[in-house]
Structure 1
């Protein structure tokens, strides 16, 4: 009986000790909260200000990007990235104000490890992302430009963080990674409004070469008048098997390939009509085949 009573008293004493420890801990936390209350208020104020500043700078960046970048989706993504960076800076400043240096160090270390792991896992994706940002700021390529790569040609329809989309003249879309596009050479037909077009033809041997050159130059210059600093060029290029070939080059308003095809079509029709009018022959290759005599020769008997 005595042992039972003694055990009960020990339990009561232990319970009182636990309650006292818990009470002291809660009082310590409350005192720490009261002491750090100004810091907590300042930290909350810093976080609120970071959200306000993030929104202000986001709107400012959007206004600037609208003047220099036509890609709407890229503008929004860059603005959101700036917004997130400013908010994170405010969060880290708030942790510093609360003297949570250890927590801040742990968060930064964890973020570094996570960033490294993500960077290694998404190396190709990040390459396309940075290439997309570069393409958005490059002055030599814009939405709507007609460009030609080693394999594809079309109008730039969209530049995202991962892909560049080309709309081909047949209205088919080509989607290629940004990194592949930016690493390969490409031709942008829309950088300048003027371009030079070449047309090739041949005339028969025996034609008056000087007269042909004069007639073609006059006809092309009348149809495609050059501007300042431009000229129509005519060159005989070779003595071919059945013709004397020449090349004529002239300038046109040229920002996409369809304009080049239209100009070549017009020039070929003009040259053909001109040669028909003046009796100038455009020869075509002739091949003469000699067949052996198949008649049976008399036997020498």
Structure 2
């Protein structure tokens, strides 16, 4: 089965004003997107060498203001920023336990839907998951580009990428949408896009001194824009594999096979490797 891309259902189409046969990007317009918001999205997927403006089909200028954005046509030169392949996270290793504990203690609800974890008092978190904003699988990228410079609350275990400032408690289904860039938060205005579009995060979340770092949420939002708007759209990866499925074949013969295999191996095998190493250590200590 060919992979699904993200272009289906888009109702805003972005063109070069000098070459309207070439689509630069598209968008599924949802509630809450203003003209100013849309300008900021376009600036993520297109690099302009000078000031620019957006115009609709009638060649009328779209002002950069807070009016609701309407479908239109657009403009000029661009450069694509790399998009980091990301699939549903399965990481359950012991090094993220302190991360999960800190996220649960701070949020005690899905911070996007607002639904409370009613079983939290008896340590029952069924249906709620601690989600990394910047994925754990890209920890080398995190270190290389010094993303930890924004972290002020450091965990004793797990490194800065496992700081409470790099995570949120989410409903399990919303976590999947967040990981696949089908949902994101524009932290410039603290509004949610795509699923639950137009919903603002609550004041309890915004007032919390331990809340996620603005710069990391902005990074995730940029990734979501790149994944969902540019070109024909990045692929959507299958993650629900019934028993007996050819997972490896799906990855190897699908799009972005190398990047996806690296991400999946990290998420699916890292926990098993840690268990094996732990057992080996225990045996060595017992033998010694």
Task: Specify the TM-score bucket, using the shorter chain as the normaliser.
Answer: under 0.3
Greater length-normalized contact order (CA 8 Å, ≥ 6 residues apart): 2
Q: Which has the larger radius of gyration?
A: 1
Q: Scaled by the length of structure 2, what TM-score is found?
A: 0.25
